[in-house]
Amino acid sequence: MKKAIHRKTILTVLFIVVCVVYLMPIFTVLMNSFKTNSSINTETFAFPNSSTFTGFYNYINGMNFGEYPFLKSAGYSVIITITSSILILVCTSMAAWYISRVNSLVSRIIYYLCVFSMVVPFQMVMFTLAKTAHTLHLDTPFTIPVIYLGFGAGLAVFMFAGFVKGIPLEIEEAAAIDGCGPLRTFFLIVFPMLKPVLISVGVLEIMWIWNDYLLPYLVLDRTLYKTIPIHIQYLQGSYGHVDLGAVMALIIISILPIIVFYLSAQKFIIKGVVEGAVKG
């Protein structure tokens, strides 16, 4: 009994240390967002004092810094994130339902291709992808969700397919007897039952798309469209001057929504991942 308590105490202390180390960069950015530029360069890890504290000046300045408005970038990020997530959830859940219920060679090939896409590094296809996106005119915030659908389909189909296999087939057969076609059966019967894994996949996809920098950077025309990560990267003034205080402030603004969203839905992530993986 004492050994178990001792082991539990050691693990608790270890996890606390790991959490502190993991959160230190975020805390450092938050701390520097309230300091002057000179103190950020010379006293990066020091707390703000009476001579270095700037209040919310960096946040106000960051929102109005440069010629490209931050709110416009935030709007594009919201549009891309919401549209892409909805597209991924609807299309991949339908694909996973078909794959799970139609046990054919074609469905198995599609499933294994989706699983294989999870292990293909983005860097292998990014240059050909950018060229193809420009050729097909998928280089706007309103068309780039099609590309996100392709990259997000692997994980989503894998999780949805595992969950659908645990849904009794008799429920769908009863709906078919009552006159429901495939679409009505899916959207009225199956889709509501996918709620745990829908939330789980939705959270994972939203976190990925909101924070993604490389794909929009390669595909979008940066003179017309910028997402929040791109906006922060190009937050420069005259002669290449970088306002570090404004950068730190905008980083905090950009991660706050996703942190709040994650904390409010974190319990569904583990539940959805476990049910989607175990049932498969």
DSSP assignment string, 90-123: HHHHHHHHHHHH--SHHHHHHHHHHHHHTTS-GG
Q: What is the CATH number of the domain that holds 229?
A: 1.10.3720.10
Shared domain for 22 and 85, answered yes or no, is no
- What's the CA gap between 218 and 266, in Å, rounded? 31
Q: What do you get for the CA distance between the two ends of the chain, in Å? A: 37
Cα angle 44, 209, 227; round to 5: 65
Shared domain for 223 and 235, answered yes or no, is yes
**Tens place of pLDDT for every residue, the chain, 280 residues?**
667 777 888 888 898 999 888 889 889 999 988 988 888 888 888 888 888 888 888 888 888 876 778 889 999 999 999 999 999 999 999 999 999 888 888 888 888 888 888 888 888 888 888 888 889 888 899 999 999 998 888 889 988 988 888 888 888 888 888 888 888 888 888 898 888 888 888 888 998 999 999 899 999 988 888 999 998 888 765 455 677 888 888 999 998 888 888 788 777 666 655 554 444 4
Boundaries of domain holding 155: 62-278
pTM of the model: 0.85
Shared domain for 224 and 270, answered yes or no, is yes
Domain count, the chain: 2
Shared domain for 70 and 198, answered yes or no, is yes
